[in-house]
Amino acid sequence: MRPLAPDNDGAMEPAIGGSADAAGAKASARRRHLPRIASAFVAFAITLLVLWVGLPLLAPTYLVLTLIAIQEYASLMNLRGIPIRRRSLWVATVLTLPASLPISYPGMEPLIAGVSWREALIGLFALYLVGLEIANPNRNSLQAVVYSLFGYLYIPWLFGFVITLRYTPDGVLGLWYLTLPALAVVATDVGAYTFGTLFGKRKLAPAISPNKTVEGSIGGLILAAAVVGGALVFLEQRTGLHVNVYDGLLFSLLVSSAAQLGDLFESLLKRWAGVKDAGVFLPGHGGVLDRIDSALIAFPVTYFFVTLVILR
């Protein structure tokens, strides 16, 4: 996700022509961004509901968002003349849904000892793509394999961790372990926008996203640490689960950094394709890929931190 306010880590320039013109420009800007802010609040409320209900809502939400994101990704690649096996990705997405359920979920068993369904699916999909291009070779076959496989790893496979995390180690604690990175992502967005607007001077990645600043990035880290810290205190009081201060701080820094990397990487894709937004999904927020870019990296990082550190 990105900031609820405009994606602009610097302060907005006043209009030339006096205070009246400046006031009018600010009022106009507020009106333009009202749909963006309203849709962001609605999306966040729906997200909390989906996370709380679990698989009955999480599964269809995952499918809808992932399928739309694949369509957007394929459109970005097509702008550079790269063919994508779209229907194959759609089928792989549907298969990734059950494969993402952890073995702690009732009825789920590993494929074989040491190999999960998720891992097996990557190998099978790669072999399928290679076989498909060998059977129908053309001048774009290599690109089709590489970029279709990357599209699978980048979107449905990484986003599938939202389902894995929701039930790790069970459906109760999994809800909290999924809510924590969601809060960290939002806090990172808000902190980056606020600190960037107030203090932003040094560009973070001018060749990729000129409006992002180092000060905004640090602000995102700080607010994420504060929000995650407060959530962990609440979690300990509510469930008795204790996470020490050092692990909590490390978690917030890792997830916030991962969210920012996910945002920058998606910006790199869009700049490479020569577009401003990946698509149109929410008013003022761009496409689905623009909304889930941070989560694509933050949720897998959370899963590995939970399993390797908290649940060790």
Q: What pLDDT was estimated at residue 28?
A: 52
Collapse the DSSP code of 99 into the 3-class scheme (helix H, G, I; strand E, B; otherwise coil) and give the result: helix
Residue 286 β-bridge partners:
282
Q: What pLDDT was estimated at residue 24?
A: 52
Q: What pLDDT was estimated at residue 219?
A: 95
User: How far is residue 210's CA from residue 65's CA, in Å, rounded to a whole number?
Assistant: 28
Collapse the DSSP code of 212 into the 3-class scheme (helix H, G, I; strand E, B; otherwise coil) and give the result: strand
User: How far is residue 86's CA from residue 80's CA, in Å, rounded to a whole number?
Assistant: 16
Answer for the pair 126, 149: CB distance below 8 angstroms, yes or no. yes
Residue 203 β-bridge partners:
213
Residue type for 82, please?
I
- pLDDT tens for the chain, 312 residues long, are 443 333 444 333 334 444 445 445 444 544 555 565 566 667 778 888 999 999 999 999 999 999 999 999 999 999 999 999 999 999 999 999 999 998 888 878 877 777 788 889 999 999 999 999 999 899 999 999 999 999 999 999 999 999 999 999 998 899 999 999 999 998 998 899 889 988 989 999 999 988 899 999 999 999 999 999 999 999 888 888 788 899 999 999 999 999 999 999 999 999 998 888 776 655 555 789 988 999 999 999 999 999 999 887
Collapse the DSSP code of 156 into the 3-class scheme (helix H, G, I; strand E, B; otherwise coil) and give the result: helix
Q: What pLDDT was estimated at residue 16?
A: 40
Answer for the pair 186, 1: CB distance below 8 angstroms, yes or no. yes
Q: Token digits for 87?
A: 């229907």
User: In angstroms, what CA-CA distances link 287 with 1, 48, 73, 145, 282?
Assistant: 11, 20, 10, 25, 7
